[in-house]
Structure 1
Amino acid sequence: MSISLHSDTSQGRPLAASSAADAPAVQAAPAPKVRARLFAKYVALFVAVVSVALLSNGIFEVFFYYREHKASLIRIQREQAEAAAAKISQFIKEIESQLGWTTQLPWSAGSLQDRRFDALRLLRQVPAITELSQIDSTGKERLRVSRLAMDVVDSGLDLSKDSKFSEAVANKVYYGPVYFRRESEPYMTLSLAGTRKDAGVSIAEVNLKLIWDVVSQIKVGERGHAYVVGSGGRLIAHPDISLVLRNTDMSKLVQVQAARAGNANDANALQGSLNIQGQKVLTASAPISPLGWTMFVELPETEAYASLYQALQRLSIVLLAASIFAVLAGIFLARRMVGPIRALSAGAARLGGGDFTQRISIKTGDELEGLANQFNDMGARLQESYADLENKVEQRTAELSESLQQQTATADVLKVISRSTFDLQTVLDTLVESAGRLCEADEGIILQPRDGAYRLAASFGLSPKKQQFLRDFIFKPGGTTAVGRALSEGRSIILVDGQSPLPGDPNPAQSRIAIPLLREGVPMGVFVLTRRERRAFSDKQIELVTTFADQAVIAIENLRLFDEVQARTKELATSLEELRTAQDRLVQTEKLASLGQLTAGIAHEIKNPLNFVNNFSSLSAELIDELNDVLRPAALDAKTREEIDELTHMLKGNLEKVVQHGKRADSIVKNMLLHSREGAGEHRPADINAIVEESLNLAYHGARAEKPGFNITLKRDFDPAAGQVSLYPQEITRVFLNLISNGFYAAAKRKEAGDEDFEPILSAATRSLGNKVEIRIRDNGTGIPPEVKEKMFNPFFTTKPAGEGTGLGLSMSHDIIVKQHAGTIDVVTEPGAFTEFIITLPRTGAAQSITGGRN
């Protein structure tokens, strides 16, 4: 079989004479990908046949080996568990056998001393027994010998109702539950009744820690071990004695639960179960009869399946070697099968790519050779027709390419303009660059009016030196230059004579086109393109530049209109804001002045008669005292003296009431005057946490100054998210001071009531509620009765003695929070326990005047 691929230069054009466009077409042909897929298909098929056969055989072998190996492991572990359980049973039976010697004789035979000697000998022979008690047939304890306590002889303790005695008498033997002495060592009770009715019962307390010797000797593989679990799930024996001493609970392990449920040796159920150390193990178990215990034997999965893992490794090595062999054999066979097809595909790809001189030579004597000859004939005919079509295609392609470039550039420019409507510099730079590139210009500039002249606004293709020169140059209408004529005449100027170079240009041999940017016939700039050779611009290029110039006019006009609209909008917004501010200030000033003047007038009108009443009451009290002093030395009978004293006492009592009410009225007037003078202050954002903290400190120091011996604990729970709130800080501080001072007063009142264990506490807390904030002020004072709670926000209502309160504090606080700040104020109280004020304020409440908030 002969295969060759050669070029035929005797027919048509030679391979070297092919156009440059043919090479990319040949390189881009998809033929190599087809060859790679076909070759890989043959190789993959051969590898798949070999690998599937080997892999299926290996998987079946491993599967059956895994099942047999797992069953064998479970069987072996079960046998080990049963053997270990038998050892434990034997251990207990031996103790039971030794204990049986103490129940042979009746209590009527022998003495207590002999029985005590036999019991001590039993404790020496059986180390596991720590205490032995011998009970007579009536259930009375006659002897108790212990390693841990003093021996007791004839204690007479009645155990007839105890299960240790009754169960042993009924069943001859009694195995008690496992318990832990001092919460560490496991013990069990073993009771054995004698064969004779009057032999009594022997009760032994067995230390199960000694079973560790039996368990530790049981070997399960290299890292496996055995352990014993009691009926309650507690660990009794384990090679790690510390687990036993810690009274470890094993009831939560899957294998322990399965053993207690009767599924102890289910291989599927226990696969991958975890032991107490968290390792995956295979576990088997066996019951230890008749104790109700369970012996567990566990082996780590890694050790149990080690041989299986080795078999898998060997299978992987065999599969890898077979796959390598299959790949090599597949490559060898595929090359011999795919060779002719590859040559035919390569030749067809070159013919399809335009290399019509390519000829395919295959000497196989079959259909592939005939197909190669047909491809050669087709190439010859295509070579003849290609020569005629090539020139036409190239000419038409050049025309379409130029038109497509212009359309694409125009579309790109329009996109830039639409995206950058208000970025004039970007639009101008894009326009001049695109126009210069499409019109094959060397330089391009756009001029705009600035400072009474036309200056450079955008450029393309200028050297840095020339660009800097043109930035400083002033262009003016008029003259013979293309720029001056376009500005003065208002039309496009096209020059090819090289007589009007740009300023600073040393080369006069130029072609130039200058198109004015007109708005309503008035030039607002000029678009200039320049070539450094005497070659005129085509009509299409002039049309394209004119289109770009129109786009520049639109962009400049849009920006001008946008700037005007923005400026006008800002002026209107500023005027509207100033008008609103002036209106708000006027309304606030009028309301504040009106209420402030009214409050001050009322207070001053009341203050003068109030001062007279107070002064008159004080003077009257002094006159009564002086009259009493004058009459006292006089010779008056007892009845007259008694009447004078009674009258004096009544007058002084009435005058004291007048003075107290006068002081209270004076306090009300002072508050009214203070309120009318201070007003609401400035409405502004403020940190609510800082206001509460400042109010706490002011009220605390004020209370300490008024009551030097009074101590109170302050607690704070401020939410950092509470943050800024728009309010009148001066008014809100007044509310907090009032509520905190009331809390101090209530706490002090409860302390003065004589409760020595009472600790006064006042707490303040803030919390963010999104668009609101919450403030809580709580004291553990006397609380508020229900009848007081209903009236506490009414003006002039107070529970304090006359002269100590005006009754305006809570009323003013309610108006400031609710009416002035559009918030809420609530109170939660329990008489004799606590009072808590809950205030909510909006974060951005409307700024109202203080008078408007209190109407």
Structure 2
Amino acid sequence: MVSAGKGARRSIASRLRWSYLISSTLPLLIVGALLLVINLNSERAAVYRDQQASSARVARDISRYVTDLERQLENYALQVRPGADRAQLVETAQNVQARNFPNLIDLSVIDDAGNELLRVYRLQSMAEGDLRALGDDDGVRQALDQGATTFTPIRMGRDSRPTFLVTMPVRNDAGSVTGALRAEISAEPIARELRLATEAALSHAYLIELETGTVLLRDGRPQFTPPREMWRLLRSEQSAAEYLGARDEAVIGALTPVSDGEEGLSTGWAVVVERPSSDAFANVRRSALLLTSLVALVGVLALFWAFRQAQRFLRPLRALRAGAIALGDGHLNHRIVALGDDELGEVATAFNQMADHLEASLAELDQQNEQPR
């Protein structure tokens, strides 16, 4: 019987502890875990947005430079008309170059057959014998055949400085394409923007070809190597991803295409801004550690409270069991100390009353037995 009682007591204790655990501690832990996940996702999204904003800002500055030069070229193109005075066109081209010196390096006016009509290189007008046939140039063909403005990838020019070509159509008053303008433009201001963006923050900014991911301009810092996992960023729907970056370190990168600010024409380039993951997610990790510690602390306190409540419930049961055993062993004077004013207290009071009645009955029997017959 004693053994069965111990087994029942352990079973009740176990059930009580698990009941308190499930009803109080477990919900707190679940809510805490959900809050932790929500907070981490929110902070992670904020890091992504910051990177996207950084790349968009750099792309906007580069676009402003490109758009300003393109606008001046379009204004010049309006003066190129059949029968226009060649000397006047050369002088105007030199003025345009002078206003943008040294960024506008080479400017050519091309006829509808793809042959240069005039060319101004570094403020100098080229002789007619030095003019080129550019009918096979892809940009010239697209300008003449499709009326499209195109940008080439950035390459190193003749003076080992980065340049790119812009080719745009020349139209008459009726809107028909009658020729093309072809300009070689310095990419040094673009490289300078990338360096400024890199120096002003913990991020690294560089320029890539949007279609292939080929690096066009580096960030100006040492140990730069083209990222091997650029495809992750190029395929990302939100134009931001985590991958091994330009220095084979884990980064979060964001990409923004560079376009013409007015007409939205694509240059075929994109700005990539990378930030080491260890730095970008430092606040996220600190928040995760803090929230995890708080959740663990609340869980431990709740668990302590659950076991304490179970013990408070079991203590009266132990007293009742001890009283029952004492009565069974013949200790009729045994009483249970008041257990409170709840149901268990009422049981203890009933037990004591039962013990009083039992002791009185036995005392009466003993007295009757002692009387002479």
| TM-score band w.r.t. shorter chain | 0.5 to 0.7
Matched residue SS, 2:267: coil
- Structure 1 segment 462-611 matched on structure 2, within 5 A: none
Contact 2:215/2:226, CA 8 A, preserved across alignment:
yes
Q: Deviations over 1:732-785 (max 9, x none)?
A: xxxxxxxxxxxxxxxxxxxxxxxxxxxxxxxxxxxxxxxxxxxxxxxxxxxxxx
Which of 214, 225, 231 is 1:234 aligned to? 214
What's the counterpart of residue 238 of structure 2? 265
- Structure 1 segment 716-727 matched on structure 2, within 5 A: none
- Quick check: 1:162 aligned with 2:132? no
Q: 1:190 Cα deviation (Å)?
A: 0.9
Q: Which runs of 5+ in 1 are unaligned?
A: 1-34, 343-363, 378-855
Contact 2:108/2:119, CA 8 A, preserved across alignment:
yes
How many angstroms apart in 2 are the aligned matches of 1:277 and 1:38? Answer: 62
What's the counterpart of residue 212 of structure 1? 191
How many angstroms apart in 1 are the aligned matches of 2:56 and 2:13? Answer: 63
Q: 1:86 Cα deviation (Å)?
A: 4.2
- Quick check: 1:177 aligned with 2:177? no
- Quick check: 1:132 aligned with 2:107? yes
What's the counterpart of residue 120 of structure 2? 145
What's the counterpart of residue 257 of structure 2? 287
How many angstroms apart in 1 are the aligned matches of 2:270 and 2:232? Answer: 11
Which of 53, 63, 83 is 2:27 aligned to? 53
How many angstroms apart in 2 are the aligned matches of 1:130 and 1:241? Answer: 27
Q: Which runs of 5+ in 2 are unaligned?
A: 1-8, 259-264, 332-373
Check 1:317–1:194 CA distance in 2 against 1; reply closer, same or farther (3 A cut): same
Greater radius of gyration (CA): 1
Which of 205, 212, 231 is 1:254 aligned to? 231
Question: How many residue pairs get matched?
Answer: 309
Which of 253, 277, 291 is 1:315 aligned to? 291
- Structure 1 segment 281-680 matched on structure 2, within 5 A: 281-288=251-258, 289-326=265-302, 329=305, 364=319, 366-371=320-325
Contact 1:123/1:130, CA 8 A, preserved across alignment:
yes
How many angstroms apart in 2 are the aligned matches of 1:128 and 1:255? Answer: 34
What's the counterpart of residue 70 of structure 2? 96
Contact 2:213/2:231, CA 8 A, preserved across alignment:
no
How many angstroms apart in 1 are the aligned matches of 2:292 and 2:25? Answer: 11
How many angstroms apart in 1 are the aligned matches of 2:317 and 2:49? Answer: 62
Contact 1:281/1:299, CA 8 A, preserved across alignment:
yes
Contact 1:106/1:200, CA 8 A, preserved across alignment:
no
- Counterpart residue type for residue 232 of structure 2: Q
Matched residue SS, 2:135: coil
Higher mean C-alpha displacement, 273-282 vs 328-337:
328-337
- Quick check: 1:276 aligned with 2:246? yes
Q: 1:328 Cα deviation (Å)?
A: 5.2
How many angstroms apart in 2 are the aligned matches of 1:191 and 1:287? Answer: 19
Q: 1:191 Cα deviation (Å)?
A: 1.6
What's the counterpart of residue 355 of structure 2? none
Contact 2:169/2:177, CA 8 A, preserved across alignment:
no
- Counterpart residue type for residue 313 of structure 1: L
Contact 1:136/1:199, CA 8 A, preserved across alignment:
yes
- Counterpart residue type for residue 110 of structure 2: I
Q: 1:312 Cα deviation (Å)?
A: 2.7
Q: Deviations over 1:156-214 (max 9, x none)?
A: 43223333433222344442431522797543211233223797433211222321333
Check 1:48–1:100 CA distance in 2 against 1; reply closer, same or farther (3 A cut): same
Check 1:337–1:105 CA distance in 2 against 1; reply closer, same or farther (3 A cut): closer
How many angstroms apart in 2 are the aligned matches of 1:242 and 1:134? Answer: 40
Contact 2:161/2:188, CA 8 A, preserved across alignment:
yes
How many angstroms apart in 2 are the aligned matches of 1:128 and 1:250? Answer: 29
Q: Deviations over 1:419-478 (max 9, x none)?
A: xxxxxxxxxxxxxxxxxxxxxxxxxxxxxxxxxxxxxxxxxxxxxxxxxxxxxxxxxxxx
Check 1:45–1:322 CA distance in 2 against 1; reply closer, same or farther (3 A cut): farther
Contact 1:254/1:273, CA 8 A, preserved across alignment:
no
How many angstroms apart in 1 are the aligned matches of 2:199 and 2:31? Answer: 33
Contact 2:106/2:119, CA 8 A, preserved across alignment:
yes
TM-align CA RMSD: 4.4
How many angstroms apart in 2 are the aligned matches of 1:158 and 1:372? Answer: 119
Matched residue SS, 2:165: strand
How many angstroms apart in 1 are the aligned matches of 2:311 and 2:266? Answer: 78
Check 1:169–1:279 CA distance in 2 against 1; reply closer, same or farther (3 A cut): same
TM-score w.r.t. the length of structure 1 is: 0.31
Matched residue SS, 1:294: strand
Q: Deviations over 1:597-652 (max 9, x none)?
A: xxxxxxxxxxxxxxxxxxxxxxxxxxxxxxxxxxxxxxxxxxxxxxxxxxxxxxxx
Check 1:107–1:241 CA distance in 2 against 1; reply closer, same or farther (3 A cut): farther
Q: 1:57 Cα deviation (Å)?
A: 0.9
Check 1:106–1:153 CA distance in 2 against 1; reply closer, same or farther (3 A cut): farther
Identity value in percent: 19
How many angstroms apart in 2 are the aligned matches of 1:67 and 1:131? Answer: 51
- Counterpart residue type for residue 163 of structure 1: D
Matched residue SS, 2:256: strand
How many angstroms apart in 2 are the aligned matches of 1:219 and 1:50? Answer: 51
Contact 1:227/1:295, CA 8 A, preserved across alignment:
yes
Higher relative contact order (CA 8 A, sep 6+): 2
Contact 1:190/1:205, CA 8 A, preserved across alignment:
yes
Q: Deviations over 1:309-357 (max 9, x none)?
A: 3443333333344345446546655665666999xxxxxxxxxxxxxxx
Contact 2:36/2:292, CA 8 A, preserved across alignment:
no
TM-score w.r.t. the length of structure 2 is: 0.63
